[in-house]
Amino acid sequence: MSRLAGQRIVLGISAGIAAYKSAVLARLLKKAGASVRVVMTEGAQAFITPLTLQALTGEEVRTSLLDPQAEAGMGHIELAKWADIVLIAPATADVMARLAAGMADDLLTTLCLATRARCLLAPAMNQAMWSHPASQRNAETLKAFGWQQLGPDAGEQACGDVGGGRMLEPEDIVAALDAALSGHSPAPGTLPLDATPEHDDHAPAPDAFMADDADPATGALAGQHVVITAGPTREAIDPVRYLSNHSSGKMGFALACAARDQGARVTLISGPVALATPEGVTRVDVVSAVEMLEAVNASLAECDIFIGCAAVADYRLAEVAEHKLKKVSGSPGLTLSLVENPDIIAAVTHRQSPPFTVGFAAETRELARHAHDKLVRKRLDLIVANDVAAPGLGFGADDNAAVLYYLDPDQPDNPATSHTLSPRAKQDLARAIIDYMLPLYRGHQITRSPVCS
């Protein structure tokens, strides 16, 4: 049974072309067992009719701030108290700006100010609008207010542009919500997802990734800057298609939380994933391997520990097609010319004064041999190897196992020392990896400068 079963969700729809996806989203939420009530802005009704959403949810769609048919004519308060989750999808640049400014000039923005439910939004706008400093500032403001951001995705847009700003697909939004219910912590100012929002005596739940005895102010990594890469990269073929892999980003995000819990200042550089940004972590979203390398280089000025957990594509197209490639009937096939992507890990470890560097090796056979080769060839301080062919572990799964390898600096010619971590939740595995890394990092601090040049 889906974790969404029984959840009371207010689905807010603002005025973007992606509103057509909201009909599918409403249907999927209902199918998962959630109770869904829809609130539409005036502009949203130009893209999709309230009648469509009413038919899909079985509930009257709300559009008016002062609805005489609502409880005491105060529909915003009624909905604010009813909701366990408020989800705005699509969230346009306009509605994000109004929420960031604390405006309450329609039903949707007013109930968002009045609710104590968990609030999430799925941005949807033109790529230039999304990258504008005002939109980025508003997104950061909303995160500080406690909003969790789902997406946006990147790709071809309705206007013909290509880039970031696309609303996540409805299936990805539902998956992200379901994942949040499995243990992701509520953001500041929100309640646990299973709390009853009408009552004032519910304190926010502790972070699901926070160890019981963790104290960030005095943690073992207090004052250290940890840079982590996570998720897949996408290499464009044309404006519609891309090369990628099955990485979900869960392991990298769990490591970011584990490092944060030990007091580190964490920069999380993520490829396209449907995961909420962990509280207290600075997130940088990228799409391609080249973009990830640029973000990594920009973050290394004061980097103490670098953890390369991302599944970076080995190759990219030599030339990206300007328009969608069309299938030609009777043709023998399609040949793609690929070039090698930059090696991000090697770029870090081959710096004049590299940080302590942890790499990952996702293998399907000969785990020890491939991990040891990568450990030596890329000059890593520690490598985390896992068998992604093992059932129920690795890409996309909630659990994982790993074998950790490192070379003794006093005996570099000896075989790598290994330590096996048995299958467990990725949050627990992340904590174990950080715990194992700490004494190695302390030794690194003694023998080498911890600050990158």
Position 156 scores a pLDDT of: 67
CATH superfamily for domain 225-447: CoaB-like (3.40.50.10300)
Annotated binding site: 308-310, 314, 324, 342-345, 360, 374, 378
Q: Which pLDDT belongs to residue 66?
A: 67
Residue 417 pLDDT: 74
Looking up tokens 């959630």, which residue turns up? 34
Q: What is the pLDDT, as a whole number, of residue 214?
A: 45
Which residue positions form the known binding site for CTP?
A: 308-310, 314, 324, 342-345, 360, 374, 378
Burial class (CB in 10 A: 0-12, 13-18, 19+), 26: buried
Confidence at residue 126, expressed as pLDDT on a 0 to 100 scale: 86
pLDDT at residue number 202: 30
- Architecture of domain 8-181 in this structure: 3-Layer(aba) Sandwich (3.40)
Q: Write down the pLDDT at residue 199.
A: 32
The tens digit of pLDDT for each residue in 179-188 reads 777 644 333 3
- Contact indicator for 112, 99 with CB cutoff of 8 Å: yes
Output the pLDDT for position 198.
34
What is the model's pTM?
A: 0.53
- List the chain domain ranges: 8-181, 225-447
Secondary structure in 3-state letters for the chain: CCCCCCCEEEEEECCCCCHHHHHHHHHHHHHCCCEEEEEECCHHHHCCCHHHHHHHHCCCCECCCCCCCCHHHCHHHHHHHHCCEEEEEEECHHHHHHHHCCCCCCHHHHHHHHCCCEEEEEECCCHHHHHCHHHHHHHHHHHHHCCEECCCEEEECCCCCEEEEECCCHHHHHHHHHHHHCCCCCCCCCCCCCCCCCCCCCCCCCCCCCCCCCCCCCCCCCCCEEEEEECECCEECCCCCEECCCCCCHHHHHHHHHHHHCCCEEEEEECCCCCCCCCCCEEEECCCHHHHHHHHHHHHHHCCEEEECCECCCEEECCCCCCCCCCCCCCCCCCCCEEECCCHHHHHHCCCCCCEEEEEEEECCCHHHHHHHHHHHCCCCEEEEEECCCCCECCCCCEEEEEEEECCCCCCCCCCEEEEEEEEEHHHHHHHHHHHHHHHHHHHHHHCCCCCC
Question: Identical fold at 8-181 and 225-447?
Answer: yes
What pLDDT does residue 375 have? 92
> Catalytic residue numbers?
159
**Per-residue pLDDT at 81:** 87
**pLDDT per residue as tens, the chain (453 positions):** 577 888 999 999 999 899 999 999 999 999 989 999 999 999 999 999 999 999 999 999 998 876 655 544 445 677 888 899 999 999 999 999 999 999 988 999 999 998 888 999 999 998 888 888 898 999 999 988 889 998 887 766 676 776 678 898 899 898 888 877 764 433 333 333 333 333 333 322 323 333 434 445 557 899 899 999 999 999 999 999 999 988 899 999 999 999 999 999 999 999 999 899 999 999 999 999 999 999 999 999 889 999 999 999 999 999 999 999 888 887 888 889 999 999 999 999 998 889 999 999 888 888 888 988 899 999 999 999 988 777 777 676 778 888 999 887 656 566 677 888 888 889 899 999 999 898 888 877 655 443 333
